[in-house]
């Protein structure tokens, strides 16, 4: 017998996914409680407040589409909105739908244990009150477990240090300071130009040079906004059935079918347009054919060489992995920043960071005096946020044990996993998630889960659980699709390779947002094929 609070559904996280999940469930009449560690809504956009933080999906496509009213009441200022504007948007939605009254902030979910006797989830929080729910839904995001690598001596550092994914709410003042940034993923590449403008000196510690291409960010032209608004039904349909959840598709042509001159023309045009997918979409074999990939990779390298004036610095900035097998990055003046007198680049590939000292960073080659260190060192992606909670399914088996820390990652559709009845993961591992426009994937999962719960309740079902076979097939399918691409050939956070000791394996479904939606819809249409309902 459970004492404490009882709900139909408990949702963990009040970012984009948790908020929409709450809205859907509440509208359908289920008692729902959301728990959130932060003191307010926003998820990713609450935590990632570093200077220069912005979304790399075009603003008009990176918002909720479920309500025409919300769509029409919000106007984005620029092609790529900055973090404060996105957070304002999330707050606007939370206020409009009056969501806060069902969210408990400042609360960490410690554990969620499935009780086979009652078919309910027993959940504990850090504030003590036991909670129970029929359904347990994780809306914890894919990139929320920030990773500060275990550098020796960090505790001795006498200056300030921050991780980009846990940035303070107060303004961080770089003025007159010697700042070090470790990491050149999206967060590093977005923050480096902004920090360089303020700091006395900025030293970038780079392990892997990146392909980054111009965002060409600009204020929105009102005519473009009007046109998208007027045609939003079609735009929405295109996004939902596309490859990545954004309008557009790869051109139906191999990069190897064009002459070098023609390719150059095509790449130049895409570079001028800017944006996340324009270069990848120039040809249909960039992600699957090494030779095709190299044509684009070498084009970007030539651009870096053109932009960066010092040839030695440019040489250090040359990436040599397959383009897009680490998250492609779009930037504003990233490579240009290395032409500034107050910026220096240190490659830590061959001379790694050995120690953080009381006054700075010591690599195996040299010591750098710093007043402040910014860790742009990424996240324990996909499984990290789930493993932060002690989630136990049938027979007391923990999710971490079942997945053998990720080595045996297994899900059905990235939505559920065998042995964990009535638990759903929004944008979980082995769903398109981070390789798609998250907003499209979030809405698809939230709607699928709501309909599934609706179906269960109408049919008087107590539990839903993925079958072993269906799960095996889905996980094998995910691996096969990934193996047919170049993505698995590079060490990346997609592969779990950025975290010491984390098993390698591709954690995302690459079959495309449209085909994935179709598969999920078919499963539902067949009475939740691959699941057992009791
Ligand atoms: P990323 O993309 O994981 O980037 C982290 C960066 O930090 C990357 O350059 C890493 O180099 C570097 N890193 C990590 N550990 C170390 C150590 N120990 N020493 C030196 N350098 C290190 O995280 P972001 O926050 O930039 O972006 C995450 C996602 O958020 C992004 O892809 C978008 O989807 C939004 P490495 O490449 O591992 O050699």
Specify the ligand 1 atom closest to the Cα of 378. 23
Where does ligand 1 bind, in terms of residues with CB under 6 Å? 143, 149, 164, 182-188, 207-208, 327, 348, 353, 376-379, 434, 493, 498
**Concatenated DSSP letters of 291-342:** HHHHHHHHHHHHHHHHH-SSHHHHHHT---S-TTSS--EEESSHHHHTTSTT
Q: How many CB atoms lie within 10 A of CB 311?
A: 9
The pLDDT, as a whole number, for residue 1 is: 39
Distance 502 CA to ligand 1 centre (A): 15
Which pLDDT does position 159 carry in this prediction?
Answer: 98
* Nearest CA-CA partner of 64 in 54, 56, 76: 76
| Cβ burial 249-283 (10 Å sphere, 16+ → b, else e) | bbeeebbeebeeeebeebbeebbeebbbbbbbbbb
What is the predicted pLDDT for the residue at 69?
A: 96
Element (H, E) at 110: strand 109-115
Contacts of 261 (CB under 8 A, 6+ apart): none
Q: Residue 437: CB partners within 8 Å, gap ≥ 6?
A: 57, 61, 62, 239, 244, 245, 246, 513
* Alpha carbon distance 213, 17 (integer Å): 29
Task: Specify whether the CB–CB gap between 328 and 280 falls below 8 A.
Answer: yes
- Taking the centre of ligand 1 as the mean of its atom positions, its distance from the CA of residue 18, in whole angstroms, is 26
Centre of ligand 1 to C-alpha 328, Å, is 12
- Within 13 Å and on the Cβ side, how many CA atoms surround 222? 0
Whose CA is closest to atom 37 on ligand 1?
208
> Which regions in the chain score pLDDT beneath 50?
1-2
Reading the block at residue 141, the tokens are: 């995001």
DSSP code at position 220: P
> What length is written for the chain?
534
Per the CB < 8 A criterion, the answer to whether 430 and 475 are in contact is: yes
Q: Enter the CATH code of domain 5-145+381-533.
A: 3.50.50.60
Which pTM does this prediction carry?
Answer: 0.98
Per-residue model confidence (pLDDT) at position 3: 53
The boundaries of every CATH 3.50.50.60 domain in the chain are 5-145+381-533
Q: Whose CA is nearest to atom 10 of ligand 1?
A: 183
- Whole-angstrom distance, CA of residue 394 vs CA of residue 502: 25
Q: Is 454 exposed, middle or buried (0-12, 13-18, 19+ CB in 10 A)?
A: middle
Q: Supply the pLDDT for residue 129.
A: 87
Among 80, 18, 87, 74, CA closest to 55 = 80
Report the nearest-CA residue for atom 32 of ligand 1.
Answer: 327
pLDDT the model gives residue 232: 95
Nearest CA to ligand 1 atom 18: 149
Q: How far apart are the two ends of the chain, measured CA to CA in Å?
A: 21
Classified as helix, coil or strand, 392 is: strand
**Residue 492 zone, left/alpha/beta (φ > 0; ψ -120 to 50; rest):** beta
CA 165/CA 376 separation, integer angstroms: 8
Tokens for 351, please give them: 């001379």
Residues whose CB is less than 8 angstroms from the CB of residue 257 and which lie 6 or more positions away in sequence, other chains included: none
Can you tell me the distance from the alpha carbon of 520 to that of 529, in angstroms, rounded to the nearest whole number?
Answer: 10
Contact predicate 528/452, CB 8 Å: yes
């Amino acid at each position: 017998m459970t004492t404490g609070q009882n709900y139909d559904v408990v949702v963990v996280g009040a970012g984009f996914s948790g908020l929409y999940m709450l809205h859907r469930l509440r509208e359908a009449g289920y008692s729902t409680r959301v728990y959130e560690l932060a003191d307010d809504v926003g998820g990713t956009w609450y935590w990632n407040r570093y200077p220069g933080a912005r979304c790399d999906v075009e603003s008009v496509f990176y918002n909720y589409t479920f309500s025409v009213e919300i769509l029409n009441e919000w106007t984005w200022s620029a092609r790529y909105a900055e973090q404060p504007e996105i957070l304002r948007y999330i707050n606007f939605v939370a206020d409009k739908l009056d969501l806060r009254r069902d969210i408990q902030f400042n609360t960490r979910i410690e554990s969620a244990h499935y009780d086979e006797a009652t078919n309910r989830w027993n959940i504990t929080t850090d504030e003590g009150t036991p909670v129970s729910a029929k359904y347990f839904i994780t809306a914890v995001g894919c990139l929320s477990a920030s990773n500060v690598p275990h550098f020796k001596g960090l505790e001795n550092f006498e200056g300030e240090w921050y991780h980009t994914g846990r940035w303070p709410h107060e303004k961080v003042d770089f003025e007159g300071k010697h700042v070090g940034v470790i990491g050149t993923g999206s967060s590093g590449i977005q923050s480096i130009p902004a920090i360089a403008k303020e700091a006395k000196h900025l030293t970038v510690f780079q392990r892997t040079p990146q392909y980054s291409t111009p965002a060409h960010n600009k204020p929105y032209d009102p005519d473009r906004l009007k046109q998208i608004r007027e045609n939003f039904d079609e735009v929405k349909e295109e996004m939902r059935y596309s490859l990545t959840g954004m309008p557009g598709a790869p051109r139906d042509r191999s990069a190897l079918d064009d002459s070098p001159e023609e390719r150059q023309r095509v790449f130049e045009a895409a570079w001028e347009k800017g944006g996340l997918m324009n270069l990848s979409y120039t040809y249909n074999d960039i992600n699957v054919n090494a030779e095709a990939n190299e044509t684009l990779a070498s084009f970007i390298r030539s651009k870096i060489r053109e932009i960066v004036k010092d040839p030695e610095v440019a040489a250090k900035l040359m990436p040599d992995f397959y383009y897009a097998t680490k998250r492609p990055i779009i930037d504003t003046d990233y490579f240009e920043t290395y032409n500034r007198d107050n910026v220096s680049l240190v490659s830590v590939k061959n001379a790694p960071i050995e120690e953080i000292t009381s006054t700075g960073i010591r690599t195996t080659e040299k010591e750098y005096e710093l007043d402040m260190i910014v860790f742009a060192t990424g996240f324990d992606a996909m499984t990290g946020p789930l493993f932060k909670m002690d989630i136990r399914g049938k027979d007391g088996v923990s999710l971490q044990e079942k997945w053998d820390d990720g080595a045996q990652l297994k899900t059905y559709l990235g939505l559920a996993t065998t042995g964990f009845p009535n638990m759903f993961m929004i944008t979980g591992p082995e769903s398109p998630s981070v390789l798609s426009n998250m907003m499209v994937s979030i809405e698809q999962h939230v709607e699928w889960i709501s309909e599934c719960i609706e179906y269960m309740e109408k049919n008087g079902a107590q539990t839903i659980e993925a079958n072993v076979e269906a799960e095996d097939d889905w996980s094998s399918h995910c691996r096969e699709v990934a193996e047919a691409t170049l993505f698995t050939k590079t060490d990346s956070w997609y592969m779990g390779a950025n975290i010491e000791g984390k098993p390698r394996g591709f954690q995302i479904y690459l079959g495309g947002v449209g085909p994935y939606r179709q598969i999920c819809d078919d499963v539902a249409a067949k009475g939740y094929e691959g699941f057992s309902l009791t």
